[in-house]
Protein backbone atom coordinates (compact mmCIF):
# COMPACT_ATOMS: atom_id res chain seq x y z
CA UNK A 1 0.00 0.00 0.00
CA UNK A 2 1.33 3.42 -0.92
CA UNK A 3 -0.01 6.88 -0.14
CA UNK A 4 1.60 9.99 -1.53
CA UNK A 5 0.41 13.54 -2.07
CA UNK A 6 -1.32 12.74 -5.37
CA UNK A 7 -2.71 9.22 -5.02
CA UNK A 8 -3.36 6.13 -2.96
CA UNK A 9 -2.39 2.79 -4.50
CA UNK A 10 -2.25 -0.92 -3.75
CA UNK A 11 -0.51 -3.47 -6.00
CA UNK A 12 -1.25 -7.20 -5.67
CA UNK A 13 0.18 -10.18 -7.53
CA UNK A 14 -2.89 -12.17 -8.60
CA UNK A 15 -1.35 -14.00 -11.57
CA UNK A 16 -2.84 -17.32 -10.43
CA UNK A 17 -6.39 -15.96 -10.72
CA UNK A 18 -8.53 -15.02 -13.71
CA UNK A 19 -10.44 -11.70 -13.65
CA UNK A 20 -13.68 -13.59 -12.96
CA UNK A 21 -12.15 -15.07 -9.80
CA UNK A 22 -11.24 -11.68 -8.27
CA UNK A 23 -13.62 -9.36 -6.42
CA UNK A 24 -12.74 -5.83 -5.24
CA UNK A 25 -15.25 -3.81 -3.22
CA UNK A 26 -15.52 -0.94 -0.75
CA UNK A 27 -17.13 -1.85 2.57
CA UNK A 28 -17.36 1.05 4.98
CA UNK A 29 -13.87 2.51 5.40
CA UNK A 30 -12.14 -0.51 3.85
CA UNK A 31 -11.25 -1.91 0.44
CA UNK A 32 -11.78 -5.66 0.41
CA UNK A 33 -10.12 -7.94 -2.13
CA UNK A 34 -11.18 -11.57 -2.41
CA UNK A 35 -9.82 -14.06 -4.92
CA UNK A 36 -10.57 -17.76 -5.18
CA UNK A 37 -10.14 -20.55 -7.67
CA UNK A 38 -11.22 -24.14 -7.33
CA UNK A 39 -8.87 -27.10 -7.51
CA UNK A 40 -7.02 -27.38 -10.81
CA UNK A 41 -3.89 -29.14 -12.04
CA UNK A 42 -0.46 -27.52 -11.85
CA UNK A 43 3.13 -28.77 -12.22
CA UNK A 44 3.08 -30.46 -8.78
CA UNK A 45 -0.40 -32.03 -8.84
CA UNK A 46 -3.57 -30.14 -7.97
CA UNK A 47 -3.96 -26.80 -6.23
CA UNK A 48 -6.76 -24.53 -5.04
CA UNK A 49 -6.14 -20.97 -3.87
CA UNK A 50 -8.05 -18.32 -1.98
CA UNK A 51 -7.14 -15.08 -0.24
CA UNK A 52 -8.82 -12.12 1.44
CA UNK A 53 -7.18 -8.73 1.94
CA UNK A 54 -8.55 -5.62 3.65
CA UNK A 55 -7.02 -2.18 3.38
CA UNK A 56 -8.20 0.81 5.39
CA UNK A 57 -9.01 3.72 3.09
CA UNK A 58 -6.81 6.61 4.23
CA UNK A 59 -8.30 9.95 5.20
CA UNK A 60 -8.34 12.27 2.20
CA UNK A 61 -9.25 9.50 -0.26
CA UNK A 62 -12.75 9.49 -1.75
CA UNK A 63 -14.10 5.89 -1.73
CA UNK A 64 -16.21 6.69 -4.81
CA UNK A 65 -13.03 7.49 -6.79
CA UNK A 66 -11.36 4.10 -6.23
CA UNK A 67 -10.63 2.11 -9.39
CA UNK A 68 -8.96 -1.21 -10.10
CA UNK A 69 -7.16 -2.62 -13.14
CA UNK A 70 -5.55 -5.96 -13.95
CA UNK A 71 -2.34 -5.98 -16.03
CA UNK A 72 -1.51 -8.72 -18.56
CA UNK A 73 1.21 -9.88 -16.11
CA UNK A 74 -1.39 -10.50 -13.39
CA UNK A 75 -0.81 -7.42 -11.24
CA UNK A 76 -3.98 -5.94 -9.76
CA UNK A 77 -3.67 -2.20 -9.13
CA UNK A 78 -6.18 -0.39 -6.95
CA UNK A 79 -5.85 3.39 -7.08
CA UNK A 80 -7.60 6.60 -6.09
CA UNK A 81 -6.57 10.24 -6.18
CA UNK A 82 -6.13 12.00 -2.88
CA UNK A 83 -8.33 15.00 -2.26
CA UNK A 84 -6.49 18.24 -2.69
CA UNK A 85 -6.81 20.58 0.26
CA UNK A 86 -9.08 23.55 -0.29
CA UNK A 87 -7.18 26.56 -1.55
CA UNK A 88 -7.68 29.93 0.03
CA UNK A 89 -9.85 32.24 -1.99
CA UNK A 90 -11.44 35.63 -1.42
CA UNK A 91 -15.20 35.87 -1.46
CA UNK A 92 -16.43 39.15 -2.94
CA UNK A 93 -19.00 41.20 -1.06
CA UNK A 94 -21.92 42.49 -3.08
CA UNK A 95 -24.00 45.47 -2.04
CA UNK A 96 -27.76 45.06 -1.92
CA UNK A 97 -30.21 47.82 -2.66
CA UNK A 98 -32.93 46.60 -0.28
CA UNK A 99 -32.41 46.19 3.48
CA UNK A 100 -31.91 42.61 4.65
CA UNK A 101 -34.03 43.20 7.78
CA UNK A 102 -37.21 45.23 7.63
CA UNK A 103 -38.71 46.82 10.75
CA UNK A 104 -42.40 46.81 11.66
Domains in the chain, start-ordered, CATH in brackets? 2-81 (2.60.40.790)
Q: What pTM was estimated for this model as a whole?
A: 0.74
Q: Nearest 5 degrees, angle CA 15-CA 37-CA 69? A: 40
Helix boundaries (H) for the chain: none
Per-residue pLDDT of the chain (104 residues; tens, 9 = 90+): 898 888 999 999 999 999 999 999 999 999 999 999 999 998 889 999 999 999 999 998 999 999 999 999 999 999 999 886 667 778 888 887 877 677 65
Three-state DSSP state, 94:
coil
Amino acid sequence: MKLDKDKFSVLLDVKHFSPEEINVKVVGDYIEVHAKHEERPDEHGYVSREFHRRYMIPKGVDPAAITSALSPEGVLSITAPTKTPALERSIPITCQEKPAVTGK
